[in-house]
Amino acid sequence: MHIPRFLLLATASLSVLAAGPGHAGAASSPDKADSTRWVARQAPGFYRFALGAFRVTVLSDGTAPRDVSAIMSKPQAVREAFAASHQALPVEISVNCFLIDTGQRRILVDTGAGELFGPLTGRLAENLRAAGYDLGDIDDILLTHIHGDHSGGLSIGGQRVFPNAVVHVDQRDPALWLSAEAEARAPAAARTTFRQSHQTVDPYVAAGRLRTFDGATQLFPGIRSVPLYGHTPGMNGYFIESQGQRLLLWGDIIHASEAQFRDPGITIDYDVDRAGAAATRHRILADAAREGFMVGGAHLSFPGIGHVRAEQSGFSWVPAPYSVALRE
């Protein structure tokens, strides 16, 4: 019997609601871990702004629902920070990518999760098209690091998504995630990242389109890499500068805004080197607060651009004012 799709969706929604209150400690709203059953649609997820002579477009790859208190150090402090911010866990963590159009080149920073993280992510390509670009327009891809939600969107079904792009990454990350010896030494639980790295990065290696750099490097006029080692051995931010305006795209410095600005010592299970990641976070937050450059974060709530403010204890996040004015 043919059942209209809207009826199926209504039935699914009701069952989610029925399982909601009391389910795994969820609040009165439906469990967001089940939010894939909902119709997850927004207006196209892109946000443009000018940075000097460059045009920057933040591209949403979607969101990843996570109970971050279960995967971070100091879980009680994380729960309290979210409660104090009136945020129920699990929370949908934004997955943001950034396109820098310099006028000469179109440079994409990170690629989202592709097909690795389920149906709430993998929306980079459609949002790129909605913003007026084609996949073939991308000349270069700068990976902050190799992790499923940053490099996962490079390939779908083993095929390169960006046919004309050269992928740039600090040599320390492929030296880990594409290494058979490192994979053999890794605990079984950590093998997923190795497998996903091969799945999505290998097609660019095979095509001769993976280029590595060594730490702080001027990659293009106005664009240089900034080592932010710790979360992974080769994580870099990218410092974008045009006509005196400055933006640091910092990758995974922050996963949970509500907790980690206040206490940069809170780490996440995905950190390869937790102490190194925490030290790097302290340092770059202090730099951003002191020097006042703009920041763009992969997991700051979309569009994830703004400034860091120093507080008596720790830091706070100041989202950039929303603007519809864009100089042509």
Contact yes or no for 289/281 (Cβ under 8 A)? no
CA distances, 70 to each of 75, 83, 116, 166 (Å): 6, 15, 21, 36
Taking contact as CB under 5 A, which single stretch among the options 11-19, 42-50, 108-116, 144-152 is the one that binds Zn ion? 144-152
**Residue in the shown chain whose Cβ atom is closest to Zn ion:** 147
To Zn ion, the closest distance from the beta carbon of 268 in angstroms equals: 8
Instruction: Return the ∠ at Cα 279 (arms to 313 and 64), rounded to 5°.
Output: 85
Spatial distance between the Cα atoms of 194 and 192, rounded to a whole number of angstroms:
5
Strand 236-242 to 245-249 pairing? antiparallel
Q: How far is the CB of 299 from Zn ion (least distance, A)?
A: 9
Stretch of 12-20, 25-33, 64-72, 147-155 contacting Zn ion, by CB under 5 A: 147-155
166-170 and 210-213: which strand pairing? parallel
Cα separation of the two ends of the chain: 54
What is the distance between the alpha carbons of residues 285 and 75, in angstroms, rounded to a whole number?
22
Strand, helix or coil for residue 267: coil
| 34 interacts with Zn ion by CB under 5 A | no
DSSP string, 46-113: EEEEEETTEEEEEEEEEEEEE-GGGSBSSHHHHHHHHHHTT-PSSEEEEEEEEEEE-SS-EEEE----
Q: Which is nearer to Zn ion, 34 or 149 (CB)?
A: 149
Q: Does 61 bind Zn ion (CB under 5 A)?
A: no
Instruction: Report the residue number, 209 or 255, with the smaller CB distance to Zn ion.
Output: 255
CB 172 to Zn ion: min, Å:
14
- The smaller minimum CB distance to Zn ion, of residues 51 and 91, is found at 91
For Zn ion, the closer CB: 31 or 252: 252
Q: Tell me how far, at minimum, the Cβ of 83 lies from Zn ion, in Å.
A: 25
Q: Residue 87's Cα: distance from chain center in Å?
A: 20
Residue with Cβ nearer Zn ion (30 or 152): 152
CB of 143 to Zn ion, least distance (A): 10
The amino acid present at 24, given as its one-letter code, is A
Which residue from 32, 55, 123, 147 is in contact with Zn ion, where contact means CB under 5 A?
147
Instruction: Report, in Å, the least distance between residue 151 CB and Zn ion.
Output: 9
- Which stretch in 11-19, 142-150, 181-189, 201-209 sits in contact with Zn ion by CB under 5 A? 142-150
Stretch of residues binding Zn ion (CB under 5 A), selected from 58-66, 97-105, 143-151, 194-202: 143-151
**CB of 32: closest distance to Zn ion in angstroms?**
21
Q: Is 147 or 172 the residue whose CB approaches Zn ion more closely?
A: 147
Give the total residue count for the chain. 328
Asked whether the CA dihedral 66, 71, 73, 77 is positive or negative, the reply is: positive
User: Contact between 66 and Zn ion (CB under 5 A)?
Assistant: no
Reference 99, options 148, 156, 65, 61; nearest CA is 61
With CB under 5 A as the rule, give the number of residues binding Zn ion: 2
CB of 104 to Zn ion, least distance (A): 30
Q: What does each C-alpha distance from 125 to 95, 115, 153 come to in angstroms? A: 13, 12, 9
- Sketch the per residue contact string, 230 through 269, with Zn ion: x for CB under 5 A, - otherwise: ----------------------x-----------------
* CB of 141 vs Zn ion, minimal distance in Å: 16
Q: Which residues are near Zn ion by CB under 5 A?
A: 147, 252
